[in-house]
Amino acid sequence: MSDNIKMQDTEYTNEWVSWIEEAVDKEYFKYYEYNQFNNIQHIGTGGFGKVYRANWKRSEKQFALKSFFSLDNVTVKEIVRELKIQREVDFHDNIIRCYGITKLETDNHNNYWLVMEYADGGNLRCYLKENFTKLSWDDKYKMAHQLSCAVSCLHNEGIVHRDLHSCNILVRNNTIKLADFGLSKRIGASSNFQSKLFGIVPYVDPKSFSRRRNNNQSTQMYSLNEKSDIYSEQYDIGLALDISQGHRETVVPDTPDEYVKIYTKCWYGEPDNRPTIYQVVDWLNSIITKKDVILEYHQISNELELNENSSSSNNSELQGDLSQLIQNFNKMNTKEIDSMAISSKQENHSTEKDFNMIANEINDFITELNIKGIEKESRKRVIEYFYNHNINSQEFYNWLLNNQNSSNSIFILGYFNHYGIVTNRNDEKAFNLYINTSEKNHILTQQYIGHCYRLGHGTMKNDKLAFEYHEKVANENLSYGQLSLGYCYENGIGVEKDFKKAFYLYGKAANDGNVIAIFNLGYFYKNGIGIEKDYNKTFELYQNAANLGYNDAQYNLALMYEKGNGITKDIGKAIYWYEKSAKQGDQDAQNKLKELQKNQ
């Protein structure tokens, strides 16, 4: 009997060793020689193993090494799965990096450890306890935004964390790093270990206490406050029952109302009534953006005040500048930063359920963003609109469902379904609503129908119909139709390729300030597509589009400065534009930036 057990254990060992070796051979992850690590120090213990800090090859570069108490088929399967998941999200700055695997050989056993990015700030719970008094609310906003962005990234990749709590949220250089992805929970479930559900009550959907539920769009968000009363209670069945019955932490005094408004909306017991993670990201970004703008304004005004007494003539001039700056700032708030803003009287009116006016305003600024070529920002702007004007988006959505008598309300309902605003994304429903609206000669809808046919969203892909709808919009002399029709001619979508027609259409759209069209013209000049090569024109157009905030233009402009293509080589300016692009999440720009800064 004993010999049979030994033989079975040997078979299992050989099997999971083969899995790891195969994963290394296929370069799923990098293999590190254990003897190249030094100064190995134990820094923590979890439910399934220990964590060590170590230096690599006598350098100051530090890694975290994660060991496991028991390595068997189940554990190794989950480790390999974890590494594969890691590869899908490794690009994100707020997700802990897994560099690879190492092997510690002892007593004829192969102990495989994960080689991870080291988080010098420890986990979030410890970090808040040690640094809470040092953190401003701006710091907290940014950390909450970073965490939300990390979760949003997982959802975009179809990944559910399954074990999200403060000990799996790490901090490196004061920046949030999401970790684990539920590895420990999956190992426990697969190994038939007892799940410690009540150890992570604050991060569990309250409905999970009464029935199992997997809803990757649900959000649970708390105050990031060490004084939160819910954390001081024992995590037991009584607390779980209280939460399931509506008990929540008491809002901590002096917490800004704008933040309270966000995280308390995430407390609703019914998942469908909670905001999506994408809404939370957009709301937090809106707060941070406003803070940055206001800070910049006060910095400028303070500089002017410091120079106030330099001379009487200068004082008069500076006062004039300050007055003009205040006027410009007010205009920027109401027109440029938030084109959706309305007067205080109108704002009060909107809270009185004047949803028809709201539908018209949303339609107008979506149209405007399409004209400018920044339609991708429209979803964010819609969410900001509801937040800034204290409008209940769910009530507005319910109104839309019952008021499908105008082309704008039909279009907005389709748009909400298309982009998953308030409701879950439903391309088929969106497409049918767009078709309904197009019959009422709603020209913006025809543009979206063209996109649906071209991309196969909610309907069968049909290049011919995509071309026809984009042509209808272009014939109305609208830049977003001209841009899309130019794209069809450039790529032969529903029509024979014709670079000259594409160039002509991009030119018309660019004349109306469409940023993508401006960039496309620069690309055509750079590569001699439908026109002779002209680096001067390329530079001019890229510069224009980059100044308007277009990410691809910023990256390509940086590349021109780095390589000296058609212009004087300037690494400083290259870094400047790579930074601009990197801040918008461009991974290539981030890599370029690291490379150039390293060589500086």
- Two tokens at 389? 């004007």
List Cβ neighbours of 561 (8 Å cut-off, separation of 6 or more): 567, 569, 570, 571, 573, 574, 577
Write down the pLDDT at residue 488: 94
Q: What is the pLDDT of residues 431-445, one digit of tens each?
A: 999 998 877 778 889
What is residue 388's predicted lDDT score, i.e. its pLDDT? 78
Q: What is the separation, in whole angstroms, between the first and last Cα of the chain?
A: 67
Please, where are the H alpha helices in 439-527? 443-455, 463-474, 479-491, 499-511, 515-527
Average of pLDDT values for 386-396? 82
Mean pLDDT of 380-385: 84
Q: pLDDT at position 557, please? A: 92
Angle (CA) 372-424-185 rounded to 5° is: 120
pLDDT digits (tens, 9 = 90+) for 460-518: 999 999 999 999 999 998 999 999 999 999 999 999 999 999 999 999 999 988 999 99
> Does the pLDDT value for residue 207 go beyond 70?
no
The pLDDT, as a whole number, for residue 103 is 84
**Which tens digit of pLDDT belongs to each residue from 405-433?**
888 899 999 999 998 888 888 889 999 99
pLDDT in tens, 546-575: 998 888 999 999 999 988 888 888 988 888
Residue 341, pLDDT score: 35
Q: Is the pLDDT of residue 225 over 60?
A: no
The pLDDT score that the predictor gives to residue 317 is 46
Q: Is the pLDDT of residue 227 over 50?
A: no
Report the amino acid identity of residue 96: I
Comparing 397 with 7, which gets the higher pLDDT?
397
* CA separation for the pair 351, 26 (Å, rounded): 58
Give the pLDDT confidence score for residue 313 in this predicted structure. 43
Per residue in 192-205, is it b (16+ CB within 10 Å) or e — as a string?
eeeeeeeebbbbbb
> Mean pLDDT over all residues of the chain?
75
Report the candidate in 487, 486, 403, 417 with the shortest Cα–Cα distance to residue 445: 417
Which pLDDT does position 309 carry in this prediction?
44
Among 22-26, 90-94, 98-102, 505-509, the range scoring the smallest mean pLDDT is 22-26
Among 18-32, 523-537, 561-575, name the one with the lowest average pLDDT: 18-32
- Residue 66 assigned to a binding site: yes
pLDDT in tens, 243-286: 666 677 777 778 888 888 888 888 777 777 788 887 888 888 77
